[in-house]
Structure 1
Amino acid sequence: MTALIEAKNLYRYYDDHCAVHDVSFNLNKGEILGFLGPNGAGKTTTMQMLCGNLAPSAGQIIINGIDLLDKPKLAKSILGYLPDTPPLYKELSVDEYLDYCARLHRLPFRAIAKAVAKAKGRCGLEAVSDRLISNLSKGFQQRIGIAQAIVHEPELIILDEPTVGLDPIQIKEIRALIKELGSDHGVILSTHILSEVQESCSHVQIINRGKLILHETIAGLNRQMNGASIKFTTREPIDTARLSSLEGVTNITMIAKNQYLLQHANEPQLLEKVALQIIEAGWGLGEIAPVRQSIEDIFISMTQKDEDAR
């Protein structure tokens, strides 16, 4: 199966500053990729390169088998893009604007009305068809931005911060729309909202200082969240070196007197092995339980490890 998008060894320099460093990943139809990173990490620069708005300093971008640099018009016809600020002409009505966008995408004249109606239906815009965009709320304007990105039925949809500035109800509606789009298209979603990735995406990747430091499925991320740490207490101080020798143990930290946090590489049955070691050593096991990490914990841990490595 041909990937909808293949990013190969992308670099982007601004003078001597490397904003994106050797970024590579694939996206297939039916996948929603959540693209995370702290401010200045290189997310928007990467998104602009994927859309052809910014040329990479090095590397290759293949969209549905078409090289973006060799055949930019053909490649761009296959994708829809919502930048972080929707590209709206607010003096137009919703219908006028989407009609204009459909024409820009060179849809056949007879197909425009049907395409606009379908985009409005998917984005919940039928009730505001005749209203000026300038008179609509931020939530509706975000919906219009998504509608212009999908009016030509692209294979690939790229959304940069689609829920920024919205209220909780609007965010919930946009997330539901993104999940629906993901069933028929490939979607890349850049966001600062970590919970948004869990609720909307099938895959997640984290970028920090221009480098990808994590690419994982949501199922794999959930496994990390469910079993990467063990918290336990003992009556006597423990020999951390002895417990550290257990397979899979990566770190042991004393967080209070005779209270410890053990981190591990998702080693199965490690909790039972740790408990047995404590009992055999006579340290007096008080309590022991797995610690569920949040996606925020993993995000901070991954970015901190990357900073420490640098």
Structure 2
Amino acid sequence: MIEVEHLSKIYGSTPAIHDVTFRVEPGEILGFLGPNGAGKTTTMRILTGYLPATSGTARLAGFDVHESSMEVRQRIGYLPETPPLYPEMTVESFLYFVARIKGVERSDRRNRVNIALERCNIADKRKVLIHKLSKGYRQRVGIAQAIVHDPPVIILDEPTVGLDPRQIIDVRNLIKSLAGEHTIILSTHILPEVSMTCSRVAIINRGRIVATNSPENLVAQLGGGSGYELEVDRDVIEVKNLLQVLPGVRFVEAVAENYLPPNRHLIRVVSEPGTEPGRDIVAVLVGAGVGLYEMRRNRVSLENVFLELTTTEKTLESDPSEPRSQADSPVLADTQANVSEPHAGEGAQS
């Protein structure tokens, strides 16, 4: 449904995004993650036809974004970070206006507006002027305008900004309910939201895609940091010798902690990816008469993966179904320093 290949955007001599390649399958929710300034908004503006690319291609619902811009816009619902609202209009009249300019048939407009109002839980605000709404309700109206014409592709840039916890849950459930019928790209800084909502994740850092996969697979790829923390009353060297030989144990190390009582030590056991040596650890320690006061499981989270990939130059192996970027090729990687020429008539846009 969405295919992005070798997409780049250059502002003067500064690359905003470089060789971005990913795809989103029909009915899928893709979480698009990255720190501020990483290139998320630039990518989404290109996909929605708001901004031309310098090089590369993007296709939505079978149409090229550059060559068939109007066809793409008819098939896309877009919520930018700041909702595009007319504050002097009522909620209902604004949604009718959006439905009309999005090409919804007159006979179907009332139905589409009512569905959007109900799905976003703002039906009781239909006659209220938008400027009188709270920030949270304005955000909901922004989501409603993105879905009022029932587009096959929906792109949401920080859709839960300004919402309270209850509203965040409602919006999360709304987005999940749209999956299957719609293909969705969701940009957010709330990582637990991605884990609970998205079937796949693309992480962008410094304008480049550094990982694309399911949240579970991304965590598994950094699963070498998973393991256990043990509080024991035996000599550290002795405990290390007992545990280091166990299947599934990668390494054992002591952790300095001043709060522990005398003669107690904190031990960290790091396990091999995909292994669960917890039962063997307990059995060996108990069998050797080691006093085990506490045992905690440490798991790598999506937040760990995000921090690892956006604070270093590390790139994880992407989902095998993803198209290879030019940067994956040692022959083509060196050519990336030479920026491709812009599309005819575009130049460097800001």
| TM norm. shorter chain > 0.5 | yes
The residue aligned with 1:17 is 14
Number of residues of Structure 1 aligned to a counterpart in Structure 2: 301
The residue aligned with 1:304 is 311
The residue aligned with 1:293 is 300
* Residue aligned with 1:116, SS: helix
Q: 2:209 aligns with which of 209, 212, 235?
A: 212
Give the whole-Å Cα distance in 1 for the aligned partners of 2:180 and 2:137. Answer: 23
| Counterpart code for 1:85 | T
User: 1:101–1:292: structure 2 CA closer, same or farther, 3 Å change rule?
Assistant: same
Give the whole-Å Cα distance in 1 for the aligned partners of 2:271 and 2:12. Answer: 41
Q: CA deviation at 1:261?
A: 4.1
User: 1:285–1:235: structure 2 CA closer, same or farther, 3 Å change rule?
Assistant: farther
1:255-274 Cα shifts (integer Å, max 9, x gaps): 33875545566243566899
User: 1:168–1:153: structure 2 CA closer, same or farther, 3 Å change rule?
Assistant: same
Give the whole-Å Cα distance in 2 for the aligned partners of 1:100 and 1:58. Answer: 34
Q: CA deviation at 1:222?
A: 5.7
| Counterpart code for 1:12 | K
* Residue aligned with 1:134, SS: helix
Task: Give unpaired runs (5+ residues) of structure 2.
Answer: 258-264, 317-350
| Counterpart code for 1:145 | G
Q: CA deviation at 1:154?
A: 0.4
| Counterpart code for 2:255 | I
Q: CA deviation at 1:227?
A: 7.1
Counterpart contact for 1:120–1:147, Cα < 8 Å? yes
Q: 2:97 aligns with which of 94, 97, 100?
A: 100
The residue aligned with 1:231 is 228
| Counterpart code for 2:309 | M
Counterpart contact for 1:271–1:289, Cα < 8 Å? no
Q: 2:122 aligns with which of 120, 125, 149?
A: 125
Deviates more, 1:59-68 or 1:252-261: 252-261
With normalisation by structure 2, the TM-score equals: 0.74
Deviates more, 1:293-302 or 1:206-215: 293-302
User: 1:121–1:196: structure 2 CA closer, same or farther, 3 Å change rule?
Assistant: same
The residue aligned with 1:177 is 174
Counterpart contact for 2:248–2:275, Cα < 8 Å? no
Q: CA deviation at 1:21?
A: 1.8
Q: 1:52 aligns with which of 49, 52, 65?
A: 49
1:170-222 Cα shifts (integer Å, max 9, x gaps): 21111111111123211111011111112221112211111112212133346
1:132-188 Cα shifts (integer Å, max 9, x gaps): 111112222111111111111100100001111111122111111111112321111
Give the whole-Å Cα distance in 2 for the aligned partners of 1:207 and 1:265. Answer: 27
* Residue aligned with 1:305, SS: coil
1:67-110 Cα shifts (integer Å, max 9, x gaps): 11111101221110000000000100111111110111122222
Deviates more, 1:123-132 or 1:151-160: 123-132
Give the whole-Å Cα distance in 2 for the aligned partners of 1:224 and 1:263. Answer: 14
Counterpart contact for 1:227–1:292, Cα < 8 Å? no
Q: CA deviation at 1:302?
A: 2.3
With normalisation by structure 1, the TM-score equals: 0.83
User: 1:254–1:44: structure 2 CA closer, same or farther, 3 Å change rule?
Assistant: farther
Counterpart contact for 1:206–1:215, Cα < 8 Å? yes
Give the whole-Å Cα distance in 1 for the aligned partners of 2:195 and 2:106. Answer: 40
1:129-144 residue pairs with structure 2 within 5 A? 129-144=126-141
* Residue aligned with 1:293, SS: coil
User: 1:291–1:227: structure 2 CA closer, same or farther, 3 Å change rule?
Assistant: farther
The residue aligned with 1:34 is 31
Give the whole-Å Cα distance in 1 for the aligned partners of 2:291 and 2:305. Answer: 28
| Counterpart code for 1:219 | E
Bigger Rg, which one: 2
User: 1:67–1:308: structure 2 CA closer, same or farther, 3 Å change rule?
Assistant: closer
Deviates more, 1:10-19 or 1:87-96: 10-19
User: 1:300–1:220: structure 2 CA closer, same or farther, 3 Å change rule?
Assistant: same
